Amino acid sequence: MAEEERERLGISPEVRDCIEATSDCYTACAETLNYSLHQVGGIPDLRHLRLLIDCSEACQTTESGMLRASELGVMLAAICVEACEKVAESCRQLDPSDEQLAMCAEVCDHTADCCRRLAV
Amino acid sequence: MAEEERERLGISPEVRDCIEATSDCYTACAETLNYSLHQVGGIPDLRHLRLLIDCSEACQTTESGMLRASELGVMLAAICVEACEKVAESCRQLDPSDEQLAMCAEVCDHTADCCRRLAV
Amino acid sequence: MAEEERERLGISPEVRDCIEATSDCYTACAETLNYSLHQVGGIPDLRHLRLLIDCSEACQTTESGMLRASELGVMLAAICVEACEKVAESCRQLDPSDEQLAMCAEVCDHTADCCRRLAV
Amino acid sequence: MAEEERERLGISPEVRDCIEATSDCYTACAETLNYSLHQVGGIPDLRHLRLLIDCSEACQTTESGMLRASELGVMLAAICVEACEKVAESCRQLDPSDEQLAMCAEVCDHTADCCRRLAV
């Protein structure tokens, strides 16, 4: 779809970035949830698991809203910022040396940045 | 599950009402979306369709968040209020005599009331 | 919406039962997931958690499909039967005396019955 | 996450392809739904819209299931094949010269191929 066509549908480049970021972030959080449930021999950190579910759902709903230029876009972006910030912090706190958690935190940082631009 | 058990899991009676309301409202909006797409011989009202999708997704995400006592609960409830108010208004504007739209507007009113109590 | 209206939209009484059952089953599984994550002092059973997520998502997708008389209805119903049977079995195996798990198993049994009628 | 780590979590390269494909296909179908609703001056083709919603939901549920190595994986992949094939056919039938529909059909073809390998 040509750029002007996207614009006509209300999808600006900033929104497009946000769509890609939330899509990736959904995948990262869902994957990290599975990873965190499998932590060998340990009792999983419940708040961490809950935040990962929160964030994956917030990203899914936000991506979907952005794709149809929803009137709720700004509110959805604001929830995404909140969810992503919490997950990034939780990942770094739990184990700063864990590769999967570090990757997840990074994806969340990027998504929060993209959504913050729209949430203002 | 006994009432005290629910409380322990962070599900108060107010939140319980909200869970039931958003679950019903998801169903009402999804059903009304299908109904509105089938309007005989007409070009469907695009804003109406979009609002119905917005609201069904907002309700789904909010119900899910409430069920796990999500830290995003207040923000989710606020989005639900917004989405429900817009759908109720749109249903009443489109055709005040339509039975399905009237039912949908009523369910949205009730859900907005339930969520408003949590969003404050 | 009057019964004949529902029929026109392709929603028979059997499908209507299925919509209600999958909606309730989504809620029961999501609630039980939260409950199971909170089991005091224990390492949660990973297969049980995964099945609960499987079943809540299968129910959500099936309800949504039924509400729009989706052509995938039969396949969705078949997945729901499978998911519900697995969760019911897992709940009964884990702790037959647990009230929440017993409630969840019962809801799953009922939903599997409703979906089985459509999946044939 | 290193390749061997993914393997440990039950995510083979074939499943990984499927996760990426269903994620892209969700986005393509949701975007095409919005596009198709906006077709200037026309009455949208209802079956086409319904198939797009079917497929976006099937992709979302399948991606999520694959990410946690769900026991329903094979059934989910089979639904995805069915949904993708129907959307691809519908897009090509509606207007073979439309750029957005052609892109959507191509993404669906690729996703059907990825899922077919797992559905056998």
Q: How confident is the model over D68-108, as pLDDT tens digits? A: 999 999 999 999 999 999 999 999 999 999 999 999 999 99
Angle (nearest 5°) at CA A118 between A116 and A119 = 65
Confidence class for position C7, pLDDT limits 50, 70, 90? low
Name the pTM for this structure. 0.92
* Unique residue bearing structure tokens 């079917």: D54
Inter-chain touch B43–D42, beta carbons under 8 Å:
yes
| Residue pair A43/A119 in contact by the 8 Å Cβ criterion | no
Q: Taking a C-beta distance cutoff of 8 angstroms, is the pair D18, D62 a contact?
A: yes
Which DSSP string corresponds to A34-56?
A: HHHHT-TTS---HHHHHHHHHHH
User: If 0-12 CB within 10 Å is exposed, 13-18 middle and 19+ buried, where does residue A120 land?
Assistant: exposed
- For chain A, positions 1-40, list CB contacts with chain B under 8 A: none
pLDDT tens track for A58-96 = 999 999 999 999 999 999 999 999 999 999 999 999 999
Comparing CB atoms, the residue among B38, B41, B46 nearest residue D37 is B46
pLDDT above 80 for A43? no
Cβ of B49 within 8 Å of Cβ of D37? The answer is yes
pLDDT of residue B106: 98
Closest chain B residue to C11 measured between Cα atoms? Answer: B31
Residue B64 sits at the chain A interface (C-beta within 8 Å): yes
Helices within chain B (DSSP H only): 3-8, 13-37, 46-67, 73-94, 99-119
* Residue in chain D nearest B33 by alpha carbon: D50
Q: Which long-range contacts (CB under 8 A, 24 or more apart) does C91-97 make?
A: C91/C32, C91/C48, C94/C45, C94/C48
- CA-CA-CA-CA torsion sign (B111, B22, C65, C101): negative
Q: Is residue D84 within 8 Å of residue D109, measured between CB atoms?
A: yes
Helix A46-67 vs helix C13-37: angle between axes, to the nearest 10 degrees? 140
Mean pLDDT value of segment B20-43 = 88
Helix (H) or strand (E) holding C57: helix C46-67
C-alpha D22: how far from its chain's center?
5
- Our CA-based measurement puts residue A46 at a distance from the nearest CA of chain C, in whole angstroms, of 7
Residues of C in contact with D60 (CB under 8 A): 61
Chain C residues inside the 8 Å CB shell of A57: none
Residue C42 has pLDDT above 80, yes or no: no
Beta-carbon separation of B44 and D42 below 8 A: no
Distance from CA of A26 to the nearest CA of B (A): 14
Closest chain C residue to the Cα of D82, Cα to Cα: C72
Two structure tokens written together for D26:
């969700």
Q: How much is the pLDDT for B1?
A: 46
Q: Burial of A86 by CB count in 10 Å (0-12 exposed, 13-18 middle, 19+ buried)?
A: buried
- Which among B1, B30, B38 has CB closest to C103? B1
Q: Which residues make Cβ contacts (< 8 Å) with residue A112, sequence separation at least 6?
A: A80, A81, A84, A85, A88
Q: How confident is the model at residue A11 (pLDDT cuts 50, 70, 90)?
A: confident
Give the number of beta-carbon pairs within 8 Å between A and C: 17
Q: What percent of chain C has pLDDT over 90?
A: 78
Question: Residue length, chain D?
Answer: 120
Q: Which amino acid is at D73?
A: G
| C50 contact residues in A (CB cutoff 8 A) | 37
pLDDT score of D5 more than 70: no
Average pLDDT of the residues of chain B:
90
Residue B49: list chain D partners with CB under 8 A.
37
Contact assignment for C34 to B103 by CB distance below 8 Å: no
From B38, B41, B50, residue closest to D46, measured CB to CB: B38
Counting residues of chain A whose pLDDT is more than 90, the rounded percentage is 78
Q: Which pLDDT tens digit goes with each residue over C75-108? A: 999 999 999 999 999 999 999 999 999 999 999 9
pLDDT band at B3 (very low <50, low <70, confident <90, very high): low
Angle at CA of residue B18, ends B12 and B22, nearest 5°: 150
Put simply, the answer to whether C54 touches D70 (Cβ < 8 Å) is: yes
ipTM of the assembly? 0.90
| Residues listed for chain C | 120
Residue D8: per-residue pLDDT: 52
What confidence score (pLDDT) does residue C1 get?
A: 46
State residue C90's pLDDT score: 97
Q: What is the pLDDT of residue D1?
A: 46
Contacts of B19 in chain C (CB under 8 A): 27
> Where does residue B41 fall: left (phi above 0), alpha (psi -120 to 50 degrees), or beta otherwise?
left
Compare all CA atoms of chain B with the CA of A75 and give the residue at the minimum distance. Answer: B79
Give the pLDDT confidence of D24-75 residue by residue, as tens digits. 999 999 999 999 888 755 677 889 999 999 999 999 999 999 999 999 999 9
Contacts of B49 in chain C (CB under 8 A): none
